[in-house]
Amino acid sequence: MEEFSSRPNKFSWQGVIQEALVEVDPEKLRAKISEAESVIFDRLQRVGQDSERAEERDALRDASNTLLTLKKEVLKFPDWRSQ
């Protein structure tokens, strides 16, 4: 999570991720994470498998992993993979 937050925003959609990273109110954080996940999904649909967008796909994957970490560590969501 620290790795993502220390990088400058290269892509316009990264701002919504940054907003989630600095939110301290749990209810607002839930909303910001939901918004960020929608933005990531929409962007992935646009980027597709375009070989010239590999760097952005990597950044989207990192952002998604960051949001998952926030959900598990801050909001205490269960880890469904460990079941």
Distance CA(78)–CA(76), nearest Å, equals 6
- Count the Cβ atoms, other than its own, within 10 Å of residue 60: 21
In a domain, 83, yes or no: no
Helix (H) or strand (E) holding 1, with range, is none
Number of domain units in the chain:
1
Smallest CA-to-CA distance from 67 within 17, 11, 31, 25 is with: 17
Report if residue 82 sits inside a domain. no
What's the residue count for the chain?
83
Task: Encode pLDDT of 43-83 as tens digits.
Answer: 999 998 888 999 999 999 999 999 999 999 999 988 656 55
The model carries a pTM of 0.81
Q: Rounded to an integer, what distance in angstroms lies between the CA atom of residue 54 and that of residue 11?
A: 13
Q: Are 57 and 47 in contact (CB under 8 A)?
A: yes
Boundaries of domain holding 52: 2-75
In this predicted structure, what is the pLDDT of residue 5? Answer: 54
